[in-house]
Amino acid sequence: METTLRGVGVSHGVAIGEVRHMGTAVLEPPARQIAAEEAEREQGRARQAVEAVAADLMARGNLAGGEAQAVLEAQAMMAQDPELMADVERRIAVGSTAERGVYDAFAAYRELLAGAGEYLAGRVADLDDVRNRIVARLLGVPMPGVPDSDEPYVLVARDLAPADTALLDPALVLGFVTEEGGPTSHSAILARALGVPAVVALPGAGELAEGTLIAVDGSTGDIFVNPSEEKKAQLKAAAAERKAALAASTGPGATADGHKVPLLANVGGPSDVPAAVEAGAEGVGLFRTEFLFLDDSKNAPSIEKQTEAYRQVLEAFPESRVVVRVLDAGADKPLDFLTPADEPNPALGVRGLRTLLDHPDILRTQLTALAKAAEGLPVYLEVMAPMVADRADARAFADACREAGLRAKFGAMVEIPSAALRARSILQEVEFLSLGTNDLAQYTFAADRQVGAVSRLQDPWQPALLDLVALSAEAAKAEGKSCGVCGEAASDPLLACVLTGLGVTSLSMGAASIPYVRATLGKYTLAQCERAAAAARTADSAADARSAAQAVLSGE
């Protein structure tokens, strides 16, 4: 019998296949006492296992590249945390085996994270994955993770660890469904990068029986269990229609009546460039430079290393706009040489531009490297600061850019509600705005982007978030300056039309989403987009906003 479930669609496309569940977590190791003379050997075993798991995570990151690499490198640093390792060795010294010492030390740290507020609680899934990998290595059992299968399948899990998501084989994994996560979680971002249909935040996903046939619509969030032949045919026809529309849509982003909306790519480094170029990106709207810094959490990369990495990206987009975000450290991207380890709430503490202003030498080196990288290249370099709160922040960043001799446009990211509310004031100091809708939603609704339980508040269709976008775009228009969106909201084709109607001047997204957005935007006039945006803002919920916009654009 066909039934329909509803989660949050986070990656476009349709997948039809049998359910395969993620491998189960490592069992709790037995609590066995060891003799005192065994402690040194067990401590050595624990250290070797930790280093091996960290090396494996780093290797997976190098293979995956881009956004996945940064996530996996952060996990590797988590595995090697010196305080955690010291706790493991203390437990072994008083009689625990290596595997039990690791298990108990991680459990204690897990409790600290889980009780430290939603932002840090969102790191628990990553911590559990690291623990499971270390314990599995010590026990000599297979790593938990993606199931072995010769036939394509739909992967179902409570949540997907970054190490698993990063190396999914799209030829075997038709799509995936998770019980946890949200539209801007690591799993969602990586799914879009892979081009794999995905639905997250589906209550009861784990209850889908192994081998059950399901159809996943990553655009709507619908899951059809035991779909009828008619439903399968309907979904396949819709997918074929979308594919044909994508193939027919080429060239710069624009509405049906010719209003230009440049479609740019979000990249994490040189490895992301080929996909962006292939997708027809008109430039880069967000170059996340922190990935370069995560290679070594204890030392900043040299000016030579930075210059080389920046130049590789700049060279790929001649005569195009490349927007670079300076280092966004802190919160879920800690760096030993920059961020304090004892902040009670890092998400609301010293992160982003605040960190850089506290360490002006790091900012000066990065800006100098960007200036050197752009020398002699026919590229339109723009540099923006993360987590700008007010005009004083914007002024401090612009001053730093000028002092470094940077010949580029200076901009500010709008990720804090205060920046949207006072956008016109900020624009007295900088030349453009870029809306980071992921963090803007997180701070507007006090809802951690990694916590599935609050995923409805992370939905970029929330009318309050659209209001803040509109305020920013209106301020930029009044000042004769640009206002783009570089958060995940831009990757939703329907929402891209609404953002255009709100006055946003460019859209930046993962490369895989560019063809979908280009094709959809080209169907409607600017006036239709404006009417859809107005309708969405009158709604009282994200679901109603999407429905209202859809009704306008479909002529209902």
Q: Which residues are catalytic?
A: 186, 486
Which two tokens mark 200?
């997250």
The DSSP string of 253-279 is -B-TT--B--EEEEESSGGGHHHHHHT
Residue with tokens 């979000």: 266
Residue with tokens 């990757």: 491
Q: How far apart are CA 513 and CA 263, in angstroms?
A: 10
Q: Amino acid identity, residue 105?
A: A
Q: Find the helix or strand (DSSP H, E) in which 175 lies.
A: strand 173-178
Q: How far apart are CA 507 and CA 135, in angstroms?
A: 44
Q: How far apart are CA 164 and CA 166, in angstroms?
A: 6
Q: Could you tell me whether strands 3-6 and 409-414 are parallel, antiparallel, or unpaired per DSSP bridges?
A: unpaired
Q: How far apart are CA 390 and CA 135, in angstroms?
A: 47
Of the candidates 509, 481, 459, the residue with the CA atom closest to the CA atom of residue 9: 459
3-state helix, strand, coil in the chain (%, to 5): 50, 15, 35
- The residues, ordered by sequence, that sit 6+ positions from 52 with a Cβ below 8 Å of its Cβ are 137
Q: How far apart are CA 68 and CA 300, in angstroms?
A: 20
Q: How far apart are CA 500 and CA 532, in angstroms?
A: 10
Residue with tokens 């700008």: 388
- Output the CA–CA distances (angstroms, integers) from residue 520 to 246, 249, 398, 447, 525, in the order listed: 9, 9, 36, 30, 11
Of the candidates 93, 79, 86, the residue with the CA atom closest to the CA atom of residue 41: 93
Q: Amino acid identity, residue 286?
A: L
